Structures are given as structure tokens and as C-alpha cells.
Structure 1
Amino acid sequence: MESYIIIFLCVAAFAAGFIDAIVGGGGLIQTPAGLILLPNLPVSTVIGTLKIPAFSGTSFAAYQYLKKVNMNWKLLLTMMAVALPSAFMGSTLLTYMSNDFMKPLLLFILSLLAIYTYAKKNFGQHVEKNISEKTLILNAIMISFIVGFYDGFIGPGTGSFFVVAFIALMGFDFLHASANAKMVNLATNFGSICLFAIKGKIIWAIALPMAASNAMGGWLGAKLAISKGNSFIRIFFLVVVVGTLIRFAYDVFFI
């Protein structure tokens, strides 16, 4: 394989890791780059290979968050335990069917999400204290299962979906939502990697250099998010959601 292809993929991986560490959505950069630059490979092989840098970048970002953000470990471990097998099931389904039918639905959901986040200025600016522990756990399980399955089945925008779900249904602010999203996203990536590794869908010669680049981007993105706080993350979140909207709109109307 030509060296320039690896270089372009590594640049895309760095950018994806940086964005993903702040609010999620790195797959909007990394996945199209992989599909465009590796056109002769099966889609499942490209997606499987890209899960390695995604896991690497998320790991480094999660480490940065864990050093600075207090976590509810009981709740977090519950979410990770649900998300991992859910993503495995989603990736299993991906190997048998197309996911194109979901894109119009996602376009509609993302449009509502962008409008709501923009209009509600205090969305995700503080931690909500009035949610019972039972409700918190039930919502955590539901979010982890649904978004985890989505990550295994489709992928792009997973981090953003986790962030908004944690804010809207669990009362987190943007910083705590991003920190928890990184950890749960680790579980979903690992679940998908298990499936793709079993089926021999990972090309390690491509995955490893991209993983190093994604990790560096994730490290820098997490440090920036932690230092800038909730207002910065909210703005960045809106930018990424609009980017996701444009991507899905292109897929729905022009492909």
C-alpha cells in the first residue's frame, strides 16, 4: 500500500481523535476517510480496522478525563457492562444487512437535537440533582443498550448521542457527560473489536499507525475540553452535531 494513503489516514485519525475527545463525532472524519482511501476493501473490513484507532484515541481521552472528573463508578461500570455486548450484537447484525434505512431517521433526530441544544442555553451547563438513583440506573441501562447497539451497527455520532442522552436523561453537565461518554464508548468499541477480530476483519498494518495518531488527538482534545469547561464543550457540540447533520443529509439525498 502506498505510504501517502497511510499518511492521509493518520491525519484523519488525529483530527477524529481530537474532536471525539471533546464531544464525540470523530467517526464523521475517520470513517469517510477510510472508505474513500481504501475503496477496494470490503466495508466491514474498513469499519473493523477503524475500530482500533477509535479505541486507542478514546482510551487516551478517557484517561485525561478520569484524572480530573469525579465519576460515579457503580453507575459507570453498569453502563459499560451493558454497552459492550450491545455493541457486539450491533456489529454482528452489520455483517448481515445494510444500515442505510436508518439514515433518514437519524437525520430527523439530529435536526431536533441541534435546535434544542441551540435554543436551550442552559442545556448541559450544570449537574441536575433531582433524579432518583432508580431512575438514573434505568436510564443508564437504556442509553447504554440503545446507543451501544447503534455504535456497533452504524457508528458515526455515537459520542454525541451519549453526551446528549446523559445530559437530558441523567442530569449530567457537558463535562461529566463527555467523561462518561468516553468510558462507555471504550466498552462499545471493544465489543465491536471482539466481533471484527473473530471474523478477521482488521488490517493491523493500517490500524496501528492510525491508532497512534488518534491517541495523540484524543489526548490533546481531552486536555482542551477539561481546561475550557462546559461553555466551550457546548459550542463544540453544536458544531459537531451540525457536521453530523450535513453528513447524513448528503447520504440521504445525494447517494
Structure 2
Amino acid sequence: MNITHILLVLITGFVAGIINTIAAGGSLLTLPLLIFLGLPAAVANGTNRVAIIAQSISATIYFYRKGHLEKGIGLILGIPACLGALIGANIAISISDHIFNYILAVMMLVTVIFISIKPKHYHADRNIFEFSLLKKILGSFLFFIIGLYGGFIQVGAGFFIISSLTILFGFSLTKSNSVKVFVGGIYIFVSLFVFIINNQVNWSLGMTLAIGNATGAWVGSRLAIWKGDKLIKIFLIVTVVIMAAQLFGINIF
């Protein structure tokens, strides 16, 4: 890496860390960047997870210190998510770069829809143990699917976690966000071992990106968001469309 690459990775990681902590979707920036820097798709996928773990640790510590970390819920839903992530990660390292790039481009565009939707604000949080057995089973199944997707590609998985928790359990965005960073960190950590065992991690880029992501998560977890989400959505949508076009082989510039 030259100094330009290092700065680009650090800055992108910083922005992604803020976005991931405030809402989700930071991997829409970091994963395509790693591919454009020359990493094979599977290596980029594995390398990106090093940064996500660092960012999750940073944000989780903040939520824990502020008393917002829902460990019980996170552990219950994290188990099926980890099982799904192991399967998804094994699928990710077995497909060709060409197919992966097309899937990534499609999922980036799909995620734009979730970015554009304003989530419903719920206020009556309840403990997960208060819900019916059916909802617990459905929640476990949903998080298995989310883990499967997260282990495979991860892009936009945070939106799916927040949507599941708010729609199925009626959790507030604050509680959903704390569960998101905690569960996401757990299943990404588990899935990372699949990439490590198969030599699909570039540690120099991964650690550089991790510094940016962790710093961004530290800042993002402390920001009181007021109209900032609108600017982030616009920035993400424009960037995602450009990067998706590049992955499809369409040269915009």
C-alpha cells in the first residue's frame, strides 16, 4: 500500500464506522473499495470483517457503559445468527469473483431501498422473554437467515436486523441498534475464522481499515443525530449507485 491507499482506506473506514453505528450500510463503501484496490472478492469479504469486528467492539463498549446493551437478547438471537454465518461464509469462499461481484452489485442496489425507508419509531420496549414461543421461534429463524446473509456478504445486514427487531418485537431504535452492533460483532467474529482458515484475509489492509472503522464507531456512537441522517442517506445512495455500476462493468466516469 502507498500513502494514498492508506489514507483512502482510513477515511473510508472512518465514514463507514460512523454510518454503521448510526444506522447501517457502511460495508456499501468498504467492501467495493477493497475490491477496487485489487483484492479478490473472497479476500475483500474476509478483510472487511476485521474492520467490522473492531467497530462492533468500539460501539458495544459505549452502549454497555451507557447501560443500553441488551446482552440477553443479543446472546439468544446471536446463536442462530452464528450458525447461519458459518454456512454463509463457506458459500462466500466457494463462488467465483465474477458471480460475487454481480451479487454484491444487486444487493447494494436493494439496500438503497432500505436506506430510503424511514423506520417506524417504537417506544414500548419489552423483554424478549415476554413474547410468545411462536415469536421467539420466528425471531430465531430470521436471525439465522440474517446470519447466513451476513456470513456470505454482510452488506446491509444491519438494516435487516433493525427491521426484524422493530417489526417483530416492537423494540425502539436505541435497543435495536445496541442488539445490532452486539449480534453483528458476534456472528462476524465467528464467520471470520472461515476466511482465516482459507487464507482469505489481507491483514495489512484489514488492520488499517479497522483503525478507521473503530474510530468512526467511537465518534458515531457519541453523535446526537439531528438531520444528519438525511445527508448520510444522500451520500450513500449516490455512492452506492456509482459503485454498483462499476461492479456491473458500466463506466460512469
**Normalised-by-shorter TM-score class:** 0.7 to 0.9
Q: Tell me the CA shift for residue 254 of structure 1.
A: 4.5
Deviations 1:134-188 (A, max 9, x none): 2442233122211111111122111122111111112111111111000110012
Partner of 1:12: 12
Change (3 A) 1:201 1:104: closer
Distance between the aligned counterparts of 2:147 and 2:235, measured in 1?
A: 19
What's the offset of the Cα at 1:35? 1.4
Equivalences for 1:130-169 in 2 at 5 Å? 132-169=131-168
Q: Tell me if the contact between 2:93 and 2:195 (Cα under 8 Å) persists in the aligned partners.
A: no
Q: 2:124 aligns with which of 122, 127, 138?
A: 127
Instruction: Say if 2:239 is the partner of 1:216.
Output: no
Q: Which residue of 1 aligns with 2:204?
A: 205
Structure with the larger helix share? 1
Q: Once structures 1 and 2 are overlaid, which stretch shifts more, 244-253 or 94-103?
A: 244-253
Shift of 1:80: 1.4
Alpha-carbon distance between aligned partners in 2 of 1:33 and 1:248, rounded to the nearest angstrom: 9
Report the secondary structure of 1:172's partner residue.
coil
Deviation of 1:127 after TM superposition, in Å, equals 3.0
CA distance in 2, matches of 1:4, 1:103: 25
Label 1:248 to 1:14 Cα distance change in 2 as closer, same or farther (>3 A): closer
Which one of the candidate residues 44, 54, 57 is aligned to 1:56? Answer: 54
Residue 143 and residue 239 in structure 1: after superposition, are their counterparts in 2 closer, same or farther (change >3 A)? Answer: farther
Could you tell which deviates more after superposition, 232-241 or 186-195? Answer: 232-241
Question: How much has 1:92 moved relative to structure 2?
Answer: 0.5
TM-superposed CA distance for 1:74, in Å, is 3.0
Counterpart residue identity of residue 161, structure 2: F
- Pick from 74, 81, 92 the counterpart of residue 79 of structure 2: 81
| TM-score using structure 2 length | 0.82
How many residues get paired? 244
Gaps of 5+ in 1: none
The AA in structure 1 aligned to 2:175 is H
Judging changes above 3 Å, is the alpha-carbon distance between structure 1 residues 145 and 47 closer, same or farther for their aligned structure 2 residues?
same
Name the residue aligned to 1:32. 32
> What is the root-mean-square deviation of aligned Cα atoms in Å?
3.1
Note if contact 2:28-2:240 (Cα within 8 Å) is conserved in structure 1: no
SS at structure 2 position matched to 1:223: coil
CA change 1:249–1:13 in 2 (3 A) is closer
- Superposed displacement of residue 114, structure 1: 5.6
Cα distance in 2, alignment partners of residues 247 and 183 from structure 1: 31
Aligned-pair CA distance for 1:70: 3.9
Are the aligned partners of 2:14 and 2:216 in contact in 1 as well (CA < 8 Å)? Answer: yes
- Provide the residue aligned with 2:176 in structure 1: 177
Unmatched 5+ stretches in structure 2? none
- SS of the counterpart of 1:9? helix
Contact 2:125/2:170 (<8 A) preserved:
yes
SS state at 1:78 partner: helix
Between the aligned partners of 1:44 and 1:8, the Cα distance in structure 2 is 21
- Contact 1:23/1:237 (CA < 8 Å) preserved in 2? no
SS at match of 1:21: helix
Q: 1:213 to 1:72 in 2, by over 3 A?
A: closer
Change (3 A) 1:202 1:175: same
- For 1:154 and 1:73, the matched residues in 2 are separated by 25
